[in-house]
Structure 1
Amino acid sequence: MAKAPVDVARLVAVDPAQAARVLKETRAATLAGQRARVAPRPVIGQSWERLLRGGLDPKRDARSGLLAGEEVTLRREASPLRHVLPALWEGLLPAAAATPHVAVVADAEGRVLWREGGAQVLRLADGMGFEVGADWREEAVGTNGVGTVAVLRRPVQVFGSEHFLRAHASWTCAGAPVTDPRDGRLLGVVNVSGPLETMHPASLAWVGSVAKLAEATLRELHLASLERLRAVAAPVLARLDRRAVVVDADGWTAAVTGMPYTARIPLPKSRSAGPVWLPGVGPCSLEPLADGWLVRVGAEPAPPDGARIVLDLARPRRWSVTVLGDEGSWTHELSPRHAELLYLLAAQRSGRSASQLAEDVFGDPARKVTVRAEMSRVRRYLGPYLEHRPYRFREDTDVELLLPDDPADLLPHSAAPAVRAAPAAGGEHVVTVPRVARVGDPGGLR
């Protein structure tokens, strides 16, 4: 019987050489399907299980294909992290410069966009393919402080032979996710890496603090941009005698008149001035205003009949909901919590009360207030297609689930009891969840 997982951080701090030996033995036994004397840490063991199921060869070359320079430039220009790069380097580089560490900023897909460090450690990183443009998704290069962080959406430190690929066994890394403070969407990962003997266990807390600082800076930048747009909008709205809202380029509200405040308006992906139908708002007209849009609201909104909703949970870390109707279609990227809630509502078309969802998600039916707050946010973009008391999709709406081929890959970040207990429809990739009027049990998803 394997012993309990060793306290790797403490062992590395006390005796790096012994830590390396223990981790090497644990990795060799576990990946060979044998019982290790010391069990891997749960976060590492679960990552190894995902990779073994996916068929990744632990002996493969650690280097992945690099993006062309033009593609790296395009991704940098599109990444919100470019706005906080000075804050990230200010937090990461001074400490990294004192030891042979490389500091990295990757996007949400695990592509390395920026990298800094001393010449010697950069040469070592180059030898492992830890270069600008490299693909460091977990499924591409195994357990690591970029890809595994993106899967779990929380800080992770990987010591030596805890890496899945043998080529990474002399390396240690600590990474933390940077999420959009507005909606929880993953923006990227910050990471520091270096030789095992040079990495301090406190690196995880350090990198996590830098990621939180970046999120706070993004929040401040967003509020400042809304304040500037609000100042421009004030005289415009003062002249209007009808309902209107001014939003930024992403649909976040700066000011309203004649209607209740809504934090975000779901703008169409392709935007141009003129008439448009907006989910949850109805018929409107769009007019460009400064760095945003003036939305003139027309008649009372009414949800379209016979809409179809596609809940895409098949892609790793890129969950979304798409609404298809006669008036057009739109897609909204989901935070981890909203992905859980919508999956559970799709799985139970008859509906779930706030206390039932609280038990499904937290294992505690008393956490109704938290569930109601999250469902209030969900209704901001899916309001016309949802009902409450209990929460459920409208009976005249068809819901299609796109699920991972492997049931174990369904929302791998989730600790929700109902998600972890779900068989994911036996691994079917596409599951059409019928309306309640036709069937009460949604295909055995629970």
Structure 2
Amino acid sequence: MPLERSPRRVVAESWARARAGRLTPERAEASEPLDDGSLEATRAAHPLAAALPVIRSLLVRDADRGSGVVVAVGDAAGRLLWVEGDPQLVRRAEAMRFVPGADWSERRVGTAAPGTALALDAGVQIAGAEHFALQVRPWSCTAVPVHDLRTHETIGVLDVTGGPDVARPETLALLGATVAAVERELLLKRLQRPRRRARAPQPARAPRLAVLDRDVAQLTAGGRTVELSLRHAELLTLLAWHRAGLSAERLAELVHGRPDAVVTVRAELVRLRHVLSGAAPALAPLSRPYRLPVPVDLDARLVLGMLDRGAHRAALTAFTGPVLPGSVAPGIEEIRAAVDGRLREALLEAASPDLLLDYADRLAPADPLPLETALRLLPARSPKRAGILARLDALD
């Protein structure tokens, strides 16, 4: 497990990243926490949930009343998922939003052990005034990132927060040993997982429409999969996106660019109904306004949902390309721009350097901003910086 370099250099470089991200000590603060439902769903899906008994046994068990210690478990993006320990200190920490569901990444609060450990992918200790945000300076903290031993991917972070004593070397050693135990526990659980038996019958799923990086859309409904022509894909995509429905004039405008093409769009809808009558009869569009009788899982909308939950890596993986790239229908161009723009904006705002480089390689090779943002986020001595600078020079 890599440990921190010279503490003063770690702090200075972290402060520089915070200022480059336009943070100020007076205004840097954690995000509002997730609502209860979103937090529980995020916890349940996170791999560290399986290792909580180990974490509680090695760290939280001794962090009881009067211990002066708070133990936090966060995800790979710096969002805290569990915060436990000395009840009095836990309540005090709430004043600075050190609570489950809050974002404690460097981009939000600047220099603090959870976010800085993730930024450097190394264990760090931040003591008192070394914190960037003013409200965090009465505290000290130690944090170590957690990795998946199979893929070496960072999956989260363990943090101990409290008074000056938690920044002692023995705390870093204890946290490092706990992380090693957690990583081994997760690997062991995966290796011991029994082979899947025959699956029980699954509940009916909503129809799914795949339009990313496709001109021939793919509709899956009722256990069947069919391909749709570009025009039919445009119509079904627009109705799936505008769930409240569209008037004939508005639909004609979104498809043909003019509201007086109503007769044409009505004829096209008749042909679409005919196609769906054999493949997915429950999806035949209703009229006045034109709308779908049941919700459709549009893959483009699913990507946006992942971004809303902070699942940036999953969203980037799911985004295989633009919506119906061969379409020139105005309404499809609007959806395409909305999804492309939302993905780019979310990654620039919150993604790790590795994720930004993946995005630049696969989807935005001519866009300098993801490269510049990754460069700003990387530590000064990262070996990846030279390659990024060369790519930026090639774009000039």
Separation in 2, partners of 1:415, 1:148: 15
Q: 1:52 maps to which residue?
A: 19
Q: C-alpha deviations, 1:7-54, integer Å up to 9, x for none?
A: x99xxxxxxxxxxxxxxxxxxxxxxxxxxxxx9711111111111111
The answer (yes or no) to whether the contact 1:414–1:420 under 8 Å persists in 2 is no
Q: Of 391, 394, 400, which residue of structure 1 is paired with 2:365?
A: 400
Query: How far is the alpha carbon of 1:59 from its aligned partner?
Result: 1.2
Does residue 378 of structure 2 align to residue 412 of structure 1? yes
Separation in 2, partners of 1:167, 1:219: 38
Q: C-alpha deviations, 1:164-206, integer Å up to 9, x for none?
A: 0111111111111112222233221111100225543321121
Separation in 2, partners of 1:271, 1:143: 49
Does residue 119 of structure 2 align to residue 165 of structure 1? no
The answer (yes or no) to whether the contact 1:156–1:174 under 8 Å persists in 2 is yes
Report 1:248-397 matches (<5 A).
324=321
Separation in 1, partners of 2:120, 2:140: 18
Separation in 2, partners of 1:412, 1:59: 24
Query: How far is the alpha carbon of 1:123 from its aligned partner?
Result: 2.2
The answer (yes or no) to whether the contact 1:136–1:146 under 8 Å persists in 2 is yes
Distance 1:151 1:120, change over 3 A: same
Distance 1:201 1:403, change over 3 A: farther
AA in 2 matched with 1:86: P
Report 1:37-76 matches (<5 A).
41-60=8-27, 62=29, 64-76=31-43
Distance 1:274 1:420, change over 3 A: farther
Deviation larger for 106-115 or 77-86: 106-115
Tell me the number of residue pairs that the alignment of Structure 1 and Structure 2 aligns.
263
Distance 1:214 1:402, change over 3 A: farther
Between Structure 1 and Structure 2, the one with more strand by share is: 1
Separation in 1, partners of 2:53, 2:221: 31
Alpha carbon RMSD of aligned pairs, Å? 4.3
Q: Which has the higher contact order (CA 8 A, sep 6+)?
A: 2
Q: Which runs of 4+ in 1 moved over 4 A?
A: 270-276, 316-326, 336-344, 401-406, 413-416
Structure 1 residue runs of 5 or longer lacking an equivalent are: 1-7, 10-38, 234-269, 277-315, 329-335, 347-396, 427-440
Separation in 2, partners of 1:399, 1:409: 13
Distance 1:175 1:196, change over 3 A: same
Report 1:13-162 matches (<5 A).
41-60=8-27, 62=29, 64-97=31-64, 99-162=67-130
Distance 1:180 1:198, change over 3 A: closer
Separation in 2, partners of 1:317, 1:142: 21
Query: How far is the alpha carbon of 1:70 from its aligned partner?
Result: 1.1
Report 1:196-235 matches (<5 A).
196-197=164-165, 199-225=167-193, 227-229=194-196
Distance 1:401 1:180, change over 3 A: farther
Query: How far is the alpha carbon of 1:106 from its aligned partner?
Result: 1.3
Q: Of 189, 206, 218, which residue of structure 1 is paired with 2:157?
A: 189
AA in 2 matched with 1:48: W
Structure 2 residue runs of 5 or longer lacking an equivalent are: 199-219, 227-309, 326-351
Query: How far is the alpha carbon of 1:417 from its aligned partner?
Result: 3.5
Separation in 2, partners of 1:79, 1:122: 22
Separation in 2, partners of 1:404, 1:47: 21
Q: 1:241 maps to which residue?
A: none
AA in 1 matched with 2:100: V
Distance 1:223 1:40, change over 3 A: closer
Residue 59 of structure 2 aligns to a residue whose secondary structure is helix
Q: C-alpha deviations, 1:366-388, integer Å up to 9, x for none?
A: xxxxxxxxxxxxxxxxxxxxxxx
Residue 146 of structure 1 aligns to a residue whose secondary structure is helix
Separation in 1, partners of 2:19, 2:390: 20
The answer (yes or no) to whether the contact 2:54–2:181 under 8 Å persists in 1 is yes
Separation in 2, partners of 1:418, 1:61: 28
Query: How far is the alpha carbon of 1:69 from its aligned partner?
Result: 1.1
Distance 1:338 1:224, change over 3 A: farther
Taking structure 1 as the reference length, the TM-score comes to 0.49
Q: C-alpha deviations, 1:401-429, integer Å up to 9, x for none?
A: 66645726336158554534632654xxx
Residue 191 of structure 1 aligns to a residue whose secondary structure is strand
Between Structure 1 and Structure 2, the one with more helix by share is: 2
The answer (yes or no) to whether the contact 2:357–2:370 under 8 Å persists in 1 is no
Taking structure 2 as the reference length, the TM-score comes to 0.55
Separation in 1, partners of 2:382, 2:221: 37
Query: How far is the alpha carbon of 1:86 from its aligned partner?
Result: 0.6
Q: 1:180 maps to which residue?
A: 148
Residue 365 of structure 2 aligns to a residue whose secondary structure is strand
Deviation larger for 214-223 or 147-156: 147-156
Q: C-alpha deviations, 1:76-103, integer Å up to 9, x for none?
A: 1111111111111111123434731000
The answer (yes or no) to whether the contact 1:175–1:189 under 8 Å persists in 2 is yes
